[in-house]
Structure formats: structure tokens, C-alpha cells
Chains A and B, each alone.
Chain A
Amino acid sequence: MLIKTNAHGFNHAVPSEITPQGIYQSRRDLIKLMATGTAGAALASWAGRDALAQAVPKPGKLTALAGAKSAVAGAVTMEKVTDYKDATTYNNFYEFGTDKADPAKNAATLPVKPWSVAVEGLVKNPKTFTLEELLKLSPQEERIYRLRCVEGWSMVIPWVGYSLSELIKKVEPLGSAKYVEFITLADPKTMPFVGSRVLEWPYVEALRLDEAMHPLALLTFGMYGEVLPNQNGAPVRMVVPWKYGFKSGKSIVKIRFTDKEPRTAWNKAASQEYGFYSNVNPVVDHPRWSQATERRIGEDGLFAKKRKTLMFNGYEAQVGQLYAGMDLKKNF
């Protein structure tokens, strides 16, 4: 019998134990600030929060997928990251059930290997990418985004991926391309609720091309320093942080460039409740509830007040110009 212990040979660090340089550097900066004692109280508290926000705990459950700290404006919020357990057990992924606990229970059957994504439609270079090709297409970045669900709750999640624009540039959209459509896998054999009448399958989401080109629109492969769990949309999903969560299609198998506004899954199901844009907007209520406030999952106790929802989920400085002159009440 072969018994391996640390006593036999060298003890190498596994990749998941290695601190990414960005995090390492920001810790160093904090220590420097503290050591020199030159930091004012406000700066110290800012640096402290920064350090807290950067120290993303790796749950160590799945394959590590590290990303360098992103330099994209607004890509790294300083807020407290939601517990991995909450982020992976409280999910909307209706292909695996409508209860929020269902996806974590049922999504284990999703075969994420091999996986490929067909990029087609109005592009010069249509191509079916394997997951491995996609993973290597551009350097992975860690982005800590707020996630606001249309239902009135929110999380803060450290995603790993790169701007969707990197992929779009590779396939070169034609001048006629105006929209990008994301199509989720709809496999009734492995997704038990495909076929239920809750939505029309496959799940379809879409963005305007300029929205899709925005650097914050993230083609996402991981979270918390590891590959995506199935219930969070493995192996590749979109994350569009200034829109309600359902705009970010999961487990994507097809990306299509079109000249007409695509009919999206929720818009087809209830067009008076879910518009094409679905930007986070505290002044435009959902027909059945207010969007002015939200409950941050896990962070606040049962009796804490809800927090105020920010315009474009707090990304107004970055994405506001995309909607200049638009009536966001009409284009909700």
C-alpha cells in the first residue's frame, strides 16, 4: 500500500493555495500603509475594506480558476463578498426547478465536459469554440460585481472571466449586426424541468451589440477562484452586472448575432413584467413589487432594513451613456 504523507518528499503548494498577484500586492500595500502610519483614518478604513473585498475565500470544492485583479473601471466592488454557500444554494436556474434550492440539488447531472459554444449569425468568422479554446481566448480576470435579482435580493460575487468584447472582436460582427443572443442548453435528459410550462425552452437572453461590447459585460467561467458550479451556469455564462440577474444567460451553447431585437425567454413569458432591457432601476417598479430596495443575501440579519437599490445597480458612471436619451420607463 502506498501511503503519501507530507514527510515523503517536497510539499508543493496546489494552484488554489497560491495567492494571485493582485491580492498579494493589495495586502502588501495595506501593510505598508499601516506600517508607515501615514494613512488617515478614512484611507485606512478604505484600504481595510479593499483588503477585505480582495481576500476572496476559495471554497476548494471545484477546479481552481484564478484571475488577475481586473483593471476595468468599476469591475471590483469593495463590498463584502457573499458566502459561497449562499451563492451556490440560492439560485434561479429553472431548467433544474423553480425553487431556489432546486438547482443545487438537481444540477449535478449537467454534463459540462465536453462543451462547445457555437458563435454564428451576422459575423464574418462564425465558429464553434470548444470550452478549452474559450478559456484560453483572453486572460482570465477576477471581477467582484454586485448581482441584483429582479425579485428584490442581491449578492456580491467574485466572478472569473473576461470581457465578452474579446470574443466579439474575434468573430467580427457585420455592420448589420445589432443584437447578440445567448442560448442556454435545453437538454430534457439532464435538465429535469426542461419541458415544464414555466418558460419556453431553450432559455434565451440577449443584449444590444453596444451593451455586449461594454467591458463590464463578462463572459464568465468561474467564481470564488474556481470553475462555475453547475447550478451557477457552468461551464460558461454571461454576467451583466447593471441588469437584473435573469439577463445573464447560463450554461451557454450558442451565441447568435442578429439585426432584430430577439424575443427573450422572460419577455415571452410575461412581457408586461420583463422588458428587453431590464436594467436595474429603482424608480421603475416591477408591476407587483417595488424595485426601490433590495435585501442583501446573508449579510444582514433577519431584522435588518433592506438597502436602497442603486441606478444601474451602481454602475451608472460606467454604463449610463449607453442609454442616453432613452425613456427607461418605456424601455424597461
Chain B
Amino acid sequence: MAGQMAGRQKWLLHPAAKPLIFIACLLPFAWLFYAAWSDQLGANPAEALVRATGDWTLRFVCIVLAVTPLRVITSTPALARFRRMLGLFAYFYVVLHLLSYSWFDMSFELADIARDIAKRPFILVGFSAFVLLTPLAATSFNAAIKAMGAKRWQLLHKLVYLIAGLGILHFFWMRAGKNNFFEVFVYAVIVAMLLGWRVWNHRAKARRRVSNNAVVGVH
């Protein structure tokens, strides 16, 4: 067991690990770019791009939320090295999503976009998620952590829990008219499990603290 763990750690700490994961995260974008260029996105390529970039945003939000539970459950601290990059990829794909919508759906007509956001709750919710994700992406470098102080930085980055919920609500409302919720359900279950684990872990830690305190006789 210990050997396996050390092996895993060794791979994750390898200098090539980060570039490799970076390239893997870029693959969906590379594929979409290639498919758009070579006309392989079907009869409605604009719709395909808007949807695919939205899907990848949700997937990266799930992936980044999975880092901490995986790290703790498998005792693999090296996983933490990749969290910032994965979070920034979530932002990368949400920017592409917003860009595709603004470009292909709205032809960059800012007034129309503003009206759309104000009028339609599902667009408003999606746009809010993007807005909330922006300060997280903007404070993702080390100097920002130092300048803000670790406590405040961490508090700000807890916004990702809210953002994940808004992203799923956005997807749910998008699908609501067709009563076609299977995919929404899958994402919701994944996010609920990842957030649920945090609640459970937090409580377990608190319980451990209490019982430890009891053992050493602190009253």
C-alpha cells in the first residue's frame, strides 16, 4: 500500500506531470477547434460549440471540486499541485462558452445580450456564475494569496461551491422545457457528492477534535 502511494506521488511530482495534464485539459478545445474548422460539428455548428463549451465548463468544475476529496481519501497530497490549473481551465471553458454565445447566438450585439441576461433567468444565472468565477481566476497567482492573506483568499475561493450550484441550475433551466434532465441529474449528483463529502469531512474533523480534547483532559 505504502509503496503504491509513494509510486503515485512520484508520478504526480514528476516535472512532466503538469505539462501533460495541461495538454490533456486543452484536448477538448483542440478537438472543438479542429472540428469547427473541418466542418465536423453537424448541421448546427454554432449550437454544438455553445453546448460543448458549457459541458466542459461543468466537467472542469466537477474535476476541480474532486481534487480535495481525492487527495484526502487516497492520501495523495501531490494532487493539490494541479488544483489551480484545473480551476483556471474551468474558467477558460466558461469564457469560451460565453464567447460562443455572444458571438454565434448574439453577433456581439451588446444591447441584445444585456436584454437577454435581464429577461431570462437561466441566462442570468449562467452569467452570474461566470461573474463570480472571475475574481477566483483573477486571484489565482501566488502574489494575490500573499496580498489578500490566506484566510481571506480561502474564503473568496469557497465561492466555487455557489458557482457549481449556479452552473447546474443554469443547465437545469436550459433543459427544463424539454423535461430532459438525465445529464443535469448526473452533474447534480456528482456535485452533491463532492460537496456532501466536504460537510461530512468537516464534521468528522470537528468530532475528532472534541474526542482528542477529551482524551488529553482539556475542559
Contact = CB atoms under 8 A, between A and B. Distances in A.
- A interface bracket (residues with beta carbon within 8 Å of B): 20 to 34
Interface of A is mostly: loop
**Interface SS of chain B:** helix
Contacts of B44: 90, 100, 153, 295, 297
Interface string B58-71: 00000000000000
Interface in B35-54: 36, 42-47, 49
Given A86-B43, A290-B116, A302-B46, A270 B107 contact: no
Contacts of A303: 103-104
B177 A305 contact: no
B56 interface: no
Contacts, number: 55
A269 B46 contact: no
B25 interface: no
Contacts of B122: 288
Of B36, B44, B103, the most chain A CB neighbours within 10 A belong to B44
16 contacts: A86-B43, A89-B42, A90-B42, A100-B44, A101-B42, A198-B178, A199-B179, A269-B179, A270-B176, A270-B179, A273-B177, A274-B177, A287-B120, A288-B177, A295-B47, A302-B45
Interface of B: 36, 42-47, 49, 103-105, 107, 116, 119-120, 122, 173-174, 176-180
Given A90-B42, A198-B180, 15 more contacts: A85-B43, A100-B42, A199-B179, A269-B179, A270-B176, A274-B177, A285-B119, A286-B177, A287-B177, A288-B120, A288-B173, A295-B46, A297-B44, A302-B45, A305-B107
Interface of A: 85-86, 89-90, 98, 100-101, 153, 197-199, 269-270, 273-274, 285-290, 295, 297-298, 302-303, 305-306
